[in-house]
């Protein structure tokens, strides 16, 4: 199990509206998230998120939970909601659809 202290998060504002690049270094490697950030009360939203950097399954559920916990600590919020962007690649009926939002409560 990963501890939140084993993860570092770097946010870089881009010159494209309110889009940011979030670089997350984990014990399994680096994950990059390109998204728009929005707050509603004590909830942080990552809107239109594109995630990349590691092979599928490299983080597993405990890795995703540790990343969510670290972001909750860094942003000082009670919940994080990741809303993925429309899929532009892939075969089958999932192309052109948005994945369901994923919520990390404190």
Predicted confidence at residue 43, as pLDDT, reads: 96
Partners of 102 in beta bridges: 82
For residues 68 and 80, the answer to whether their CB atoms sit within 8 Å is yes
Residue 94, pLDDT score: 64
The segments of the chain whose pLDDT lies below 70 read 1, 88-95
Q: Name the DSSP letter for residue 87.
A: P
CATH for the stretch 4-105? 3.40.630
Domain residue ranges of the chain, discontinuous segments joined by +: 4-105
Give the pLDDT score at 40.
94
| Tens of pLDDT, residues 54-84 | 888 888 888 888 998 999 999 999 999 999 8
């Amino acid at each position: 199990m990963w501890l939140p202290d084993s993860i570092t998060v770097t946010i870089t504002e881009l010159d494209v509206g309110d889009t940011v690049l979030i670089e997350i270094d984990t014990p399994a490697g680096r994950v990059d998230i390109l998204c728009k950030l929005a707050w509603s009360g004590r909830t942080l939203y990552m809107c239109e998120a594109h995630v990349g950097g590691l092979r599928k399954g490299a983080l597993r559920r405990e890795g995703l939970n540790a990343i969510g916990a670290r972001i909750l600590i860094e942003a000082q919020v009670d919940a994080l909601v990741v809303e993925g962007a429309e899929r532009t690649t892939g075969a089958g009926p999932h192309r052109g659809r948005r994945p369901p939002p994923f919520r990390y409560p404190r």
